[in-house]
Structure 1
Amino acid sequence: MRTKRRRIVALLGGAATLLIPFLRIGGDSAFRFDIPTMRLLFFGSVLWIDQFHLVLLLVLFLLLLAVGTTAIFGRIWCGWLCPQTVIAEVARWIASALPGGARKAGASVVLVPLSALVSLSLLWFFVPPAETFRNLFRSPVLLGFFLAQWAVVYGMVGWIGTRFCATACPYGMLQNVMASAPLGAKAWLLGGAAAAALAFLFAVWAQPSVAFAVQWEGIGAGGGGNLYRYSVRNGRAEPVRMRLSVDRPARILGDPGIAVAPKSRAFGSVAVTSDGETRGEVRFTAEGNGFRFVRKAAYP
């Protein structure tokens, strides 16, 4: 019965890992790190690379959760949730349909396509599944990562196996320490994990869907006013159009319009000149799609 329950948990975990990359929210992946744009898509929200300090809260949550569950439930990770255990369990379950003498060899054979599927699923958390299938044999980089991961997964599960758990796995060593932790410490660990998770979710989902920033960049060539660099971050599922303006007597030279695609960022520069005294600073206003931002920047 215990083995049956463990296999059910393994199958559910494997199914979730395979299906999450296909889940879409607002027309984009629910959870994926997009390397070309350096952004993390997190269930409808977007975290850019310059916001990755928030991920530290997620890492803290996972660390405290792992330590807390180990202190309370023992080796639940190793026996039920570890990817290496799950992959091996699924391979043995499939091979159990074979005659008794062929099951061990059958499990090794089953591991070949199973490891390939795991390698593909890892790629899907960085490259959308449709794009992966379309470009797998066209992109040497994508194919190289796929083959390397395939070999590593097969080697870890089919060749190294539990020897890694007994000799090198840091989590296995941690379990020996946490097994004798006092009850109060266990409660604090789980409480800390819950607090870190709530803080991370609040920080991600409470951030504004659209943000605007501007800063002085330098003097334009030939005395063409001051140059300012702006950025607009759009976390919405629809495009945003904004128009820049500055308080008089300053005025913008060139096109003041800004267009930002859904869940993306836009960068640009504008030149600002003045027909009078600006008192060392200029005030920018960015308006559009129901948003209005006012920012100040230096005017040397």
Structure 2
Amino acid sequence: MADTTPNEKPDYKSVLASVDKEGRRRWVEARIVWGRWRRWRSALAIPLIAFYCAIPFVMIGGKPAFQLDIATRKFYLAGVVFWPQDLTYFVILALLGIVGTLLTVALLGRVFCGWFCPHNVFLEMVFRPVEHLILGGPGNPGKTPAWRAALMWFVFVLIAGGLANAGTAIFIGADAFHAYVLLDWAAHPYATGFWGILFVCILFNFGWFRDQTCTIVCPYGRFQTAMLDSHTLTVAYDAKRGEPRGHLARADARAASSFELRAS
């Protein structure tokens, strides 16, 4: 991969850090740095992960808490059944969601992406910690043993299978699973095919594609920039201040961190 030369200044504003000048990918090896914000994100991620995985299997009053039954054209939300003729309610909810999103992004920036987005929650709080636990963090000396890589992918397969179960249950319900784990493929062949496609997509996304989902695929990540203004809180790299590499002397007036939370 083509990196910048020692005499060449990196272009932070027009070139992504995960892409070189030829447009080829630079693999992001993120460190897990524990601090106040990481602890807060972890505390929030636990109930979010439980919610994302369990909500398709939760029943309220004998009806699913959340299910999109395409075959019978019914939508379940909090145990209430909505029919196609109830589309007006969803239009109102969608408008409220759009206005709320605009206000939230304008005030707090990319708070959804960093704290609530299912992709980011599972990547940073599940898959990446598993990878660090088995393979070690960035800068780990020596070549990774093959058995460690195989073990990591085995764990990834198990996690992706569980997430595919939750995703499939949203459309066909919890009754299609034996003990909420094994899909009844004989009774639901089309759902089994959907499960297989979803499983492959999840494994590919969290195992390899990762951050490119946010920068290339996700439409929200693209248009939310238009909702930022000069008062939006932004986590950014201050190129003028920079970050001194290596150990700092006590008299060094520059901050050691390359990031700051500031109003743009």
2:193 paired residue number: 144
CA-CA distance at 1:176 after TM superposition: 1.9
Q: Does 1:37 align with 2:77?
A: no
CA-CA distance at 1:40 after TM superposition: 1.3
Return the TM-score normalized by structure 2.
0.61
Letter in 1 for 2:156: L
1:10 paired residue number: 45
Letter in 1 for 2:224: Q
1:132 paired residue number: 177
Gaps of 5+ in 2: 1-34, 233-264
Q: Does 1:179 align with 2:228?
A: yes
What do residues 203-237 of structure 1 show as CA deviations (whole Å, max 9, x unaligned)?
xxxxxxxxxxxxxxxxxxxxxxxxxxxxxxxxxxx
Letter in 2 for 1:160: F
CA-CA distance at 1:130 after TM superposition: 3.0
1:51 paired residue number: 86
SS of equivalent residue, structure 1 residue 40: strand
Contact 1:95–1:110, Cα closer than 8 Å, also in 2: no
SS of equivalent residue, structure 1 residue 150: helix
SS of equivalent residue, structure 2 residue 71: coil
Contact 1:71–1:179, Cα closer than 8 Å, also in 2: yes
CA-CA distance at 1:83 after TM superposition: 1.8
What do residues 185-217 of structure 1 show as CA deviations (whole Å, max 9, x unaligned)?
xxxxxxxxxxxxxxxxxxxxxxxxxxxxxxxxx
Contact 1:70–1:178, Cα closer than 8 Å, also in 2: yes
Letter in 1 for 2:175: A
Task: Provide the aligned C-alpha RMSD in A.
Answer: 2.6
For residues 204 and 70 of structure 2, the distance between their equivalents in structure 1, rounded to whole angstroms, comes to 27
CA-CA distance at 1:96 after TM superposition: 4.0
1:193 paired residue number: none
Q: Does 1:98 align with 2:134?
A: yes
Count residues in correspondence: 183
* Match among 136, 157, 161 for residue 206 of structure 2: 157
Q: Does 1:67 align with 2:116?
A: no
Distance 1:36 1:174, change over 3 A: closer
For residues 162 and 99 of structure 1, the distance between their equivalents in structure 2, rounded to whole angstroms, comes to 19
1:123 paired residue number: 168
For residues 207 and 119 of structure 2, the distance between their equivalents in structure 1, rounded to whole angstroms, comes to 9
For residues 162 and 128 of structure 1, the distance between their equivalents in structure 2, rounded to whole angstroms, comes to 31
SS of equivalent residue, structure 1 residue 180: coil
For residues 130 and 171 of structure 1, the distance between their equivalents in structure 2, rounded to whole angstroms, comes to 33
CA-CA distance at 1:43 after TM superposition: 1.6
Calculate percent identity across the aligned residue pairs.
27
Contact 2:62–2:79, Cα closer than 8 Å, also in 1: no
1:245 paired residue number: none
Could you say which structure has the higher strand fraction? Answer: 1
Distance 1:148 1:48, change over 3 A: same
Return the TM-score normalized by structure 1.
0.54
Contact 2:67–2:171, Cα closer than 8 Å, also in 1: yes
* Match among 159, 171, 175 for residue 114 of structure 1: 159
CA-CA distance at 1:47 after TM superposition: 0.9
